[in-house]
Amino acid sequence: MPLPIDLVLVRHGESEGNIANKRDRNGDPSLLTPEHRNRHNSTWRLTDLGVKQAKSAGNWILENIHGQFDHCLVSAYVRARETAGYLGLPGAEWEIDPYLIERDHGDLDGMTQAQKDKKFGDNLARRAMQEFYWRPPNGETRLDAGLRWDRIMHSLSDRHHDHRVIIVAHETLIEAGMIRRLHWTVEEFCRWKEANDEATKIHNCQIIHFSRRDPISGTIHEGVRWWRTVCPWDLSITDGSWQPILKRRFTNDELLKQASEYERLIA
């Protein structure tokens, strides 16, 4: 069965964890207090800015995606549920789904960067080698999180293929959806992440909209054909225009060219 006609993804607004971890990465671990570290990251709340971002996202959705959603899904984590509530979508009835939670970073959760480097330096070195396949100690790889995403999509295909669906979730889960829907290779995804382009990165409350509906003619196709993205609290970051999606296949020669990008160490 095909995916929903419209699938709208929203990252949660700025959270307490976003602020604390960002400052820690910049050398200031002062917000990672024992009280903060002793809370499971599922309980992090939105900041005041995060609330404003969520309300802005809700306003953009109301103005640009007209009509009610047939199905509303939200991650079980508090910051996502709070975001969904502040979207203020009329008539929304949200289903809380634990499969939509953020990627589990295992033993790294709650630690400062200095503590991570000291205790798990070897593990973090493997992350630097290839982040996509990296597994945090007792945590999930991106592929693990992607399997949870696939489970959600299979369910939506069975029950909501002719509907409009909105999902409020987390950066890594939304990235898993982009990899699938945009047909990226691992290398393309890694280049996209490393570019850290403000116009394409997934900001807090960034909206990603996939559709089977031709934005010009309104014709509904079997597969997802178009997508757009917008940062609703700063519209200068993206233009929000629809882009076509091309399903990709590779010839033998193209596969060999991809392999040739890596140096062969043993003949």
In a domain, 121, yes or no: no
**What is the dihedral sign for C-alpha 130, 144, 18, 209?**
positive
Report yes or no: 174 and 208 within 8 Å, Cβ to Cβ.
yes
pLDDT exceeds cutoff 90 at 200: no
pLDDT for 29? 86
Average pLDDT over residues 244-259: 94
Least confident segment among 46-55, 123-132, 133-142? 123-132
Q: How confident is the model at residue 201 (pLDDT cuts 50, 70, 90)?
A: confident
pLDDT exceeds cutoff 80 at 244: yes
In a domain, 122, yes or no: no
In a domain, 161, yes or no: yes
pLDDT in tens, 210-223: 999 999 999 999 99
pLDDT for 253? 98
Which stretch, 13-22, 31-40, 164-173, has highest mean pLDDT? 164-173
Q: How far apart (Å, rounded) are the C-alpha atoms in residues 79 and 170?
A: 9
pTM to 2 decimal places: 0.95
Average pLDDT over residues 72-77: 98
Report yes or no: 211 and 6 within 8 Å, Cβ to Cβ.
yes
Q: How far apart (Å, rounded) are the C-alpha atoms in residues 30 and 51?
A: 23
Query: Which helix (DSSP H) or strand (DSSP E) does residue 227 occupy?
Result: strand 226-230
pLDDT for 128? 86
**Percent residues over pLDDT 70 in the chain:** 100
Strand, coil or helix: what is 163? coil
pLDDT for 37? 77
Q: How far apart (Å, rounded) are the C-alpha atoms in residues 85 and 92?
A: 9
CATH number at residue 47: 3.40.50.1240
pLDDT in tens, 61-71: 999 998 789 99
* Domain residue limits at 174: 6-104+140-260
**Percent residues over pLDDT 90 in the chain:** 77
In a domain, 119, yes or no: no
In a domain, 132, yes or no: no
In a domain, 92, yes or no: yes
Number of domains comprising the chain: 1
Q: How far apart (Å, rounded) are the C-alpha atoms in residues 162 and 153?
A: 13
Instruction: Tell how strand 71-75 and strand 164-169 pair up.
Output: parallel
The closest alpha carbon to 53, from 236, 240, 202, 234, belongs to: 234
Report yes or no: 114 and 120 within 8 Å, Cβ to Cβ.
no
In a domain, 267, yes or no: no
Q: How far apart (Å, rounded) are the C-alpha atoms in residues 150 and 136?
A: 21
In a domain, 33, yes or no: yes
Average pLDDT over residues 146-161: 94
**Tokens matching residue 48:** 């005041």
pLDDT for 267? 85
The closest alpha carbon to 43, from 6, 85, 81, belongs to: 81
pLDDT for 31? 85
Phi, psi values for residue 15, rounded to 5°:
-115, 170
